[in-house]
Chain A
Amino acid sequence: MDAIRIRLVTKRETRMCWKSRRIRAWILLVGVFGSAVGGVRGDDLPDRYRREVLPILNRACVGCHGESKREGGLSLLGPDDPALAVARRGVWKRVRDRVEEGEMPPDDAETPLLDSDRKTLLAWISDAMAARIARSVRDPGPSVLRRLTRGEYVRTVGDLLSIEKGDLERLDLPEDDPGDHFENLGASLSLAPTTLERYFDAADRVAAMVFGNGWYARGSRDRLMPVRPAPNRPEREAARASLARFLRRAHRRPPDPTEIDRLLIFFDREKARGAPFEEAMRALLKPILISPRFLFRIEQDRPALDGSRSVTVDDDELAARLSYFLWGTMPDETLNQLADRGKLTSDPAALEAEVRRMLGDNRAQTLSKVFAAQWVQLDRMRTARPSQEFFPRFHAGIKQAMVEEVWAFFDHLRVDDRPVTEIIDCNYAFANEELARYYGIKGISGGKMQKVAIGPSDHRGGLLGMGAVLASTSHTFRTSPTLRGKYVLEVLLGTPPPPPPANVGLLKDDAPLGKGREVTTFREKMAQHASSASCAGCHRKIDPIGFALENYDAAGAWRESTRDRPLDLSGVLPTGERIEGIDGLKRVLKARRDQVVENLVARMLEYALGRKLTDEDEPTVREIREMSARSEYRYSSIVLEVVRSVPFQCRRPTGREVVQ
């Protein structure tokens, strides 16, 4: 009986959801056509869809991608209303990418796509994508309550109580599951019962550090007890004043008086047992450190004043968004003061100045060591296992230097405010003596990472010249053009190929070169798994990119040949572009600079928001890229535009959230 009722409710909810999506789409369209701000107005888009696009789709696509077949989960026949069809940005983006690459329709399709139709279709999609959506009607997207990640917890406790980071590293909270991209995505930050137990343990240990003998402990106690009892200030008054100031920082907003009262009970109970002031204050620490206001980044749900699609967060919430985006820790005193004065939401100049200050601060290193490192999948280096027999020059020291090279490079982009396009190519690299020797770069001494000017003959510069990237996309005793190609598509271009079908080529791909197996060249061997129809579609895109990197061996060193045959570095992309070697690959990437930058923007926005992007975020991503183009894509301009964007500054208002 109950089960039936539940099902009914769910069904009705689904219908309501669908309805509200329709309404949302309408609002979106009002945005597109009603109040276009610059860009393409696109009033004629629905009409052109009906007259020009739909017939093409019916001719060439719907056979496989219609309501009945839905190959690849894609139906191109969505809403009947052409105006709603226009708004399916995610679908059109997929169509554009596949058609532009020449990947769709496939060569063996029943009806080919005529060249003229292809042009018409792409032109319409391009206009539909470029149609601007006014900020006022933009959807800030779902906001997700986020727990502090392990790293954020450690840094926050360190700043809150001035505890040495090294001691806090030993708290051994569980690692967060990085999910698909970033470990700070709210959706994957679950809280298992054992995780809370660890926070309990951690709170006890932190209390022991604050009241221990470490050199910092006195300062830590001052953080907890900024106001001490004095002849004219009774103990309870001092406790209340200390608590108010400490909670302001721990909760990242001014505390409720009821909250202070609730906590003072702990103080009172200890006093009743005759504990001295400090010991009674110690009892407050644990309930604060495991409080949801500390462990989670809480933002208040608010109604929209004018029926708008978004509400701006308040100053305290914006301060926390800023500090966890840029620093991965709590706001500092300066930022809190700006929030207290209401400057962050009211004064764009003050906001910009504050972002610049924060970017220049050492704490912004987390953008390099956490954001960039997770984006470029640096943790794959942990499991990179170049064989010792084949790569005797590679060892733990080189491995570590390769990781530091990536950190140093991204931190240089930040500190010197370089154009982010330098991830494609640049005339410098970072290395210490050991790594420079490994790379064959002369004139570097010392164990410290340093910036080195390089020329074309050094074969480095940009992300794809970095040992960490090259070694972590290889197998133990050979390179993997497939892994490398996939890496470039995913990490640099933001177009990850779909995963291979279950169990295909998974287990045998890595089989060693045994007797009777060396009859083919490496490329012929690769060609095998790119020859069957089910594999070829993707491998035609993936493998040519990977082959262009064959000059780098499985441990990231440059080579001119393999042991017994010359390297084969050339390939043809599905678009017809020829690639030859790393230089050719860089040329292709430079030609797609906008796509590379837009992908970086998307990843940074994702990290800043702590959620995956949706199709509705696409106009925001594009706008951030366009705005930063005016400053040559300098690092700070991208960060600033992310901060200024609607999803960073706003939440969905009450009742607009989508239950997942």
Chain B
Amino acid sequence: MSDRNRFGDGSGRMTRRAMLRGAGVAVALPFLESWVRPFARAAGGIAGPPLRMAIVTVTGGTVLESWKLPGGGPLGKLPSILRPLDFARNDLLILTGLSHTGASDNLNGHENCGYKHLTGAARVGKIGGRPYAGISVDQAAARVAGRETFLPSIEMGLTNHETPFSFRSVDQPAPFEADPRMIFDRMFRGRQPVVPNWKRRGESRDAEAGRTSPPTDPYDRSVLDAVRAEARALRNRLDSSDRQKLDQYLDALRASETRIDRLEARLRVEALDVKDPGPSRLVDIRIPSEMGKPSFHHYRELIHRDPEKHADYIRIMADLLVLALQTDTTRVVTLAAGADDAFFPGVVTVGYEYHCHTLEHQGNADRPENADPIAREACRQIHAWYTEFFAEMVARLKAIDEGGSTLLDNTMLLYTSYMSDGGHGTIDYPALLVGKAQGTLRTGRQIDFPAKTPMSNLFVEMLERMGAGGPGFGDSLTSPNRAFEGRLPGLA
């Protein structure tokens, strides 16, 4: 665990910056740029828009020969699954050969892949029915990039107990929210969506505003004070093991307080944005009322049966992702799209089977030539369908002007899947980076890495760009297949 502390403790760097800026200004953290991001600075963007990271992961069963090109180099005609992204060809960076090869205890095939997916952990499993893996790349990024935003990160979409992709720590999965309404509420409770004016925010006036305006709603604060007093009084009457449980509660109260602090500081800055917003138009979110009637749970069943509902759902979730980044509600989003147990009549136009999970298995074999070709084509169709919505989302990001650069320019977007094939595979994952990540990625290419190069190496590269870098991540330095000293050469 101790090697994880580097994500939580950057005091050394902060001190250096404090000295550069003069202590007085640096104290007005956390909504000033308090982190030296080498890449962001290289791009000349300290005062400009920050770098964001998003992961869109689709369910298993993709068909890799239709996902990547036969060889690396500049991108020509795109492989069929990625073809909807043709308009953004120069923003794409296809990476091949990346794999997870860690050990697994007491897990089924979906769990094995689900736990390793974003953690790259050297060992995953269950103890007493509870999952363990390692911190996931999104949560590691959020520990640093999340300090400056209203929410540290957002995890959304369809996952299940077999696929808890995000882990806050070794044994603490971060729950995914499936209901778009809940996500919207969570993002904009107590604040209204507004486009940040990054140019103005870079100037010091905002910091002044942050310190002078009065706090917003003292009610929640006094509620917190009251229950804290109650919990403390109660503590003495409990036995020592119960006290430990109550201490969790007290810790959670502190975290809520921090959130209120953030909300207040954030509102002061956003009040200025309301008067003088950034140049782009806000993403217009219209959540169809049927998604909440009678409950989202009900709609979720429909998603599994009806591809049109499924499409509406993915579109809304993608819009929420764009809105979250545009409004700087968070800088780290993970979206899990699709579902293994969904049916795809109409999307799948070959054969008689529409059940995705069955197709994944039938369309997969030790070698593609041995698989059922009809089921494999069906899987290809499903994944080409996913990419259509992903491409729409990329187009939106590309259309948002943040004052001289687009939101896509300021984003590092990973498009991938939790299984490398329909047979619970973990070798040679689909991995596509989209966006130039403020000039730190050279796009328009495919790079082929040797088979079994750890996927964790990619996560190391992403974390460094998010200012959360360190010597290693997951099994990047410990995998039996470790390579390139835990890095991926040639991305920039």
A201 close to B185 (CB less than 8 A): yes
A259 close to B256 (CB less than 8 A): no
A172 close to B179 (CB less than 8 A): yes
Point out the residues of chain A lying under 8 angstroms from B18, CB to CB: none
- Is A290 located at the chain interface by the 8 A CB criterion? yes
Segment with Cβ contacts to A, from B240-248, B462-470, B482-490: B240-248
* Distance between Cα atoms of A511 and B292 in the complex (Å): 39
Point out the residues of chain B lying under 8 angstroms from A195, CB to CB: 252
In the complex, which residues 172-208 of chain A have their Cβ closer than 8 Å to any Cβ of chain B?
172, 174-175, 177-181, 186, 188, 190-197, 200-201
B361 close to A296 (CB less than 8 A): no
B439-475 interface code vs A (CB 8 A; 1 in, 0 out): 0000000000000000000000000000000000000
Q: Which residues of B contact A (CB under 8 A)?
A: 103-109, 112, 125, 128-130, 160-162, 168, 172, 174-175, 177, 179, 182, 185-186, 189, 219-220, 222-223, 226-227, 229-231, 233-234, 237-242, 244-246, 248-249, 251-253, 255-256, 259, 292, 294-297, 301, 305, 340-341, 343, 351-355, 357-358, 361-362, 364-366, 370-372, 423-425
A298 close to B234 (CB less than 8 A): yes
* Distance between Cα atoms of A476 and B109 in the complex (Å): 14
* Distance between Cα atoms of A45 and B358 in the complex (Å): 58
A144 close to B242 (CB less than 8 A): yes
Known: A190-B248, A201-B185, A292-B231. Is A287-B223 also a contact (CB below 8 A)?
A: yes
* Distance between Cα atoms of A565 and B260 in the complex (Å): 67
A286 close to B234 (CB less than 8 A): no
The listed residue (A145, A174, A178, A396) touching B245 by CB distance below 8 A is A145
Q: A145-B245, A166-B295, A290-B227 given. 9 additional CB < 8 A pairs? A: A147-B245, A191-B248, A196-B256, A197-B255, A287-B226, A383-B162, A385-B357, A502-B106, A506-B107
A293 close to B230 (CB less than 8 A): yes
A144 close to B245 (CB less than 8 A): yes
Point out the residues of chain A lying under 8 angstroms from B423, CB to CB: 507, 510-511
The listed residue (A144, A179, A506, A507) touching B130 by CB distance below 8 A is A179
A657 close to B372 (CB less than 8 A): no
B423–chain A nearest beta-carbon distance, Å: 7
Point out the residues of chain B lying under 8 angstroms from A265, CB to CB: 222, 226
* Distance between Cα atoms of A163 and B220 in the complex (Å): 24
Point out the residues of chain A lying under 8 angstroms from B106, CB to CB: 499-500, 502
A85–chain B nearest beta-carbon distance, Å: 27
- Is A535 located at the chain interface by the 8 A CB criterion? no
* Distance between Cα atoms of A266 and B172 in the complex (Å): 36
* Distance between Cα atoms of A168 and B130 in the complex (Å): 28
A654 close to B239 (CB less than 8 A): yes
The listed residue (B108, B130, B185, B234) touching A188 by CB distance below 8 A is B130
B237 close to A658 (CB less than 8 A): no
- Is A169 located at the chain interface by the 8 A CB criterion? yes
A620-660 interface code vs B (CB 8 A; 1 in, 0 out): 00000000000000000000000000000000101001111
Point out the residues of chain A lying under 8 angstroms from B161, CB to CB: 177-178
A503 close to B103 (CB less than 8 A): yes
Point out the residues of chain B lying under 8 angstroms from A145, CB to CB: 238, 241-242, 245-246
A262 close to B229 (CB less than 8 A): yes
Q: Which residues of A contact B (CB under 8 A)?
A: 142-145, 147, 166, 169-170, 172, 174-175, 177-181, 186, 188, 190-197, 200-201, 258-259, 262-263, 265-266, 269, 283, 286-287, 290-293, 295-296, 298-301, 382-383, 385, 387-389, 396, 476-477, 499-500, 502-503, 506-507, 510-512, 514-516, 652, 654, 657-660
* Distance between Cα atoms of A172 and B184 in the complex (Å): 13
B116–chain A nearest beta-carbon distance, Å: 12
B239 close to A476 (CB less than 8 A): no
B147–chain A nearest beta-carbon distance, Å: 14
* Distance between Cα atoms of A594 and B110 in the complex (Å): 37
Residue of A nearest to B219 (CB): A283
B227 close to A512 (CB less than 8 A): no
The listed residue (A200, A283, A512, A657) touching B362 by CB distance below 8 A is A512
Residue of B nearest to A146 (CB): B245
A445–chain B nearest beta-carbon distance, Å: 26
Q: List 24 A-B contacts (CB under 8 A).
A: A144-B241, A147-B245, A169-B297, A170-B292, A172-B177, A175-B175, A179-B128, A190-B172, A191-B249, A192-B168, A193-B252, A193-B256, A195-B252, A196-B253, A265-B226, A385-B341, A389-B358, A396-B301, A502-B103, A502-B105, A511-B365, A512-B362, A514-B365, A657-B242
* Distance between Cα atoms of A466 and B85 in the complex (Å): 48
Residue of A nearest to B177 (CB): A172
Residue of A nearest to B162 (CB): A383
Point out the residues of chain B lying under 8 angstroms from A477, CB to CB: 358, 361-362
A163–chain B nearest beta-carbon distance, Å: 15
Point out the residues of chain B lying under 8 angstroms from A383, CB to CB: 160, 162, 341
Residue of A nearest to B360 (CB): A476
Known: A383-B341, A506-B112. Is A193-B251 also a contact (CB below 8 A)?
A: yes
A290 close to B353 (CB less than 8 A): no
Point out the residues of chain A lying under 8 angstroms from B186, CB to CB: 201
Residue of A nearest to B172 (CB): A192
* Distance between Cα atoms of A552 and B255 in the complex (Å): 52
**A143, A476, A652: residue with the most chain B Cβ atoms closer than 10 Å:** A476
* Distance between Cα atoms of A396 and B130 in the complex (Å): 29
Point out the residues of chain A lying under 8 angstroms from B252, CB to CB: 191-193, 195-196
Point out the residues of chain A lying under 8 angstroms from B244, CB to CB: 659
Point out the residues of chain A lying under 8 angstroms from B179, CB to CB: 172
A208–chain B nearest beta-carbon distance, Å: 12
Point out the residues of chain B lying under 8 angstroms from A652, CB to CB: 239
B230 close to A291 (CB less than 8 A): yes
A296 close to B245 (CB less than 8 A): yes
A172 close to B238 (CB less than 8 A): no
The listed residue (A188, A291, A507) touching B227 by CB distance below 8 A is A291
* Distance between Cα atoms of A174 and B174 in the complex (Å): 10
Point out the residues of chain B lying under 8 angstroms from A292, CB to CB: 227, 230-231, 234, 246, 249
